[in-house]
Amino acid sequence: MRWLETIRVQSAAGKEQTTEEELTVLVREIRGNTDPRGLCAVTLSSHASVPGYFALRLLWHTGDVHVRGSLLGMNLAQGLKVFGLVDHSIWIEHTNTKEGSKHVQ
């Protein structure tokens, strides 16, 4: 099953640069992990019009969905609270088939 873990961070005023640097380092470290245990991709995005607003996304392919998030995601969300507001959410990937019905992968 494929699912997406999104950790959004709205950095506190004056911490925008530090937050971006820390998130960049975290992404490099996660990608460098040789044992991803179902982790398919890691991305970091910044909001187009709101400075200091970031989204770290972890795409997973595992046997089941971790409805509270992965251990990695929960630890990241907790640790990133020092930079500002954090929102951690889990999304299940759906695909449309040719018949038009939706199936969870």
pLDDT at 6 exceeding the cut of 90: yes
Helix (H, G, I), strand (E, B) or coil at 5: strand
Model pTM? 0.85
Domain boundaries, the chain: 2-93
Strand partners, 5: 58, 90
pLDDT in tens, 29-86: 999 886 668 999 999 999 999 999 999 999 999 999 999 999 999 999 999 999 999 9
Instruction: Say how many C-beta atoms besides its own lie within 10 A of residue 68's C-beta.
Output: 10
- CATH 3.30.70.100, applies to 2-93: yes
